[in-house]
Structure 1
Amino acid sequence: MNIILIMIPLSLLILIGAVTAFFWAVNHDQFEDLNSPGLLPIADATDEEKRREGETHPPVR
């Protein structure tokens, strides 16, 4: 029963920290562009493929 006296304030502190972190992220434009980060792995993969093609196929003279 005494653990409740520790767990309730601790959970409230964690909740306040999470809410503070969320509002900090919103105020610092962390959620401004949600589409580009999802496309970055695709762009990196195509760049990697292009580089590999250049390495495996020497230029024709």
Structure 2
Amino acid sequence: MSIIYFLIGCSVVLALAFLSAFFWAQRSGQNDDLYTPSVRILLDEDAEDRKE
């Protein structure tokens, strides 16, 4: 029965770690630009990038 308490404690600590990582990512601006990655393939390449 004591292993269940240990596993519950570990899962709570892990969940808090992921929650704090999520809030850190939001504060540091990881998800500021959601539009550009979806249309990046449609943008023209520079002449320098086409060095084939």
TM-score, normalization: structure 1? 0.60
CA RMSD of aligned residues (A): 2.5
Unaligned 5+ segments in structure 2 are none
Structure 1 gap ranges (5+): 56-61
Report the counterpart of residue 38 of structure 2 in structure 1: 38
Structure 1 residue aligned with 2:22: 22
- The percentage of aligned residue pairs carrying the same residue is 35
CA distance in 2, matches of 1:15, 1:8: 10
Query: How far off is 1:5 after superposition?
Result: 1.6
Aligned length: 49
In structure 2, what is the equivalent of residue 11 of structure 1?
11
Higher helix proportion = 1
Which has the larger Rg? 1
User: Which residue identity lines up with residue 14 of structure 1 in the other structure?
Assistant: L
**Residues of 1 paired with 2:38 and 2:10: CA distance?**
35
Please state how far the C-alpha of 1:43 moved relative to its aligned partner.
5.2
